[in-house]
Amino acid sequence: MASGGVCEQDRRAIFSAGLEAILHQFPFQILGFHSDNGSEFINHTVARLLEKLRIEFTKSRANRTQDHALVEGKNGAIVRKHIGYGHIASEHAEEVQKFYTAHLNPYLNFHRPCGFATVSLDARGKRQRQYQLNDYRTPYEKLQSLPQAEQSLKQSLSFAQLDKLAHQMSDTECAAKMSAAKLKLLRRCKTESPFPLRFQ
């Protein structure tokens, strides 16, 4: 969500609206929201939104960057890999968000396998992570495998409905469609923005 070039109050309103849209994309009920200590998260607007949705709000400890190791890892493996490191001007924020919703999120959730580690304790009580062959699945497949998963879905959704979305196209077709939409988006942002994107 980009919101540069606007006052702090408007920036928070834009962020809150974007956050609410993101939360509604999850097929299951969100019980908790954990953030860092940035002012875009720690403010009355976000607090009211989460209270309205009955979501518990917690924040990380000061100066403990490891609290967000998973998020930082996903930033590198997903956001930076697909979108790059360059500045995206605020006028492109809505278009980028539409790309996430229509293309990137369905690809990541239904068609891109990722590793879910099997955690065990050694003789000294140290946690060990191992990735077996059956530890690799899409986030949607992982959701389906959880106990009583269907009870966690939002009331308006079922796995039958989500299966239709997952099987609309093959993994390869979805990846190709997402890549084409991404290239079109980034070319437009690079051409129109005074701060060209930097690709790796």
Q: What is the DSSP string of 24-52?
A: HH-SB---EEEE-S-TTTSSHHHHHHHHH
What is the three-class DSSP state of 155? Answer: coil
Is this model's pTM higher than 0.85 or not?
A: no
What is the 8-class DSSP label of residue 28?
Answer: B
Q: Which two tokens stand for residue 179?
A: 């890549």
Q: Among 13, 11, 19, which Cα is nearest to 35's?
A: 19
Residues 157, 86: contact at Cβ < 8 Å? no
Q: Strand (E) positions, 122-162? A: 127-130, 136-137
Widest distance between CA atoms in the chain: 58
pLDDT tens per residue across all 200 residues of the chain: 444 444 455 566 667 777 888 888 899 988 898 887 777 677 788 888 889 888 998 887 777 666 666 677 777 788 888 888 877 777 888 888 899 999 999 999 999 998 888 888 888 888 888 888 888 999 999 999 999 999 999 988 999 999 999 999 999 999 999 999 999 998 888 765 454 555 54
